[in-house]
Amino acid sequence: MKSLMKFLVFSLLFSLSLCFQESSNSHQLPRNMILEYPDDGGKADQEEVNLQCTSWRFAVEANNLNSWKTIPQECADYVKNYMMGKGYLLDLERVSNEAAVFARSVNVEEDSKDAWIFDIDETLLSNLPYYTDHGYGLEVFDGVEFDKWVGKGMAPAIEPSLRLYEEVLSLGFKVFLLTGRSEKMRDVTAQNLMNVGYKNWDKLILRDTEDHGKLATIFKSEKRSEMMKEGFRIQGNSGDQWSDLLGFPMSTRSFKLPNPMYYIP
């Protein structure tokens, strides 16, 4: 009965919050579809949670949210289902396919100055085994625990990214790996990458002592500036965080991999 009570309270609060959103106004668009809640127990509520959490996920992926530290409590199951089900894989495949189409369209010059940047975590390597044990973003990030996981060098490849990586290399791009991981993780990171199939990158750039405390956007922009000064044309940039992609300079095309589990400013 305790869980029934909790469920009813949750449903009530949820419905109330929607009521307030649905004030009448003839010019309001889109024309509201008033959800009728039939006598089917939890089904309509589950639909409502799905709608709300899908909307939240889109806000994450479009970079509309203000800084956040954990996923919404009510989206815990939604995020888990997305990550472990088909949705995440479909999104990863789509973004890699679109990136490959763009990569093939670039006229790669013979001066070896056309470059592609890849982020590492949740871009080339997956930390899903770690996040499976830590609530898929429901727990506040624990740097000490996470570093232990990284130290094992056991992160699997994100397969669609590996295919893109290989194609980008074969097209003649220089490949830079630009990660927020610390310099002290260089060896284990390189070994992990090689073990799961990533080879022949041009440079692996990690956070050095003077980069600690910098926002990711700043750190990564500085590194892209250096590449630009060295004459590289940054054609593509693949990352799961907008802080991998925004700032100055930006690449010709950016590719945002899905990640509803955490946010790095």
Q: What percentage of the chain's residues is helix, strand, coil (to nearest 5)?
A: 50, 10, 35
CA–CA separation, 75 and 57 (whole Å)? 9
Provide the mask over 148-167, with x wherever binding to its own copies is found by CB under 8 A and - wherever it is not. --------xxxx--------
Q: If binding is defined by CB under 8 A, does position 86 make contact with its own copies?
A: yes
**255: β partners:** 238
Window of 1-9, 111-119, 141-149, 198-206 that interacts with its own copies by CB under 8 A: 1-9
Comparing CA positions, the residue from 238, 92, 231 lying closest to residue 179 is 238
Q: If binding is defined by CB under 8 A, does position 37 make contact with its own copies?
A: no
Q: Is 35 strand, coil or helix? A: coil
CB of 110 to its own copies, least distance (A): 25
73 secondary structure, DSSP code: G
Q: If binding is defined by CB under 8 A, does position 94 make contact with its own copies?
A: yes
Size of residue set near its own copies by CB under 8 A: 80
Q: If binding is defined by CB under 8 A, does position 3 make contact with its own copies?
A: yes
Angle between helices 186-195 and 143-152 (to 10 degrees): 50
- Joined together, the tokens standing for residue 176 give 């830079």
* Nearer of residues 63 and 112 to its own copies, judged by Cβ: 63
Q: If binding is defined by CB under 8 A, does position 70 make contact with its own copies?
A: no
CB of 148 to its own copies, least distance (A): 17
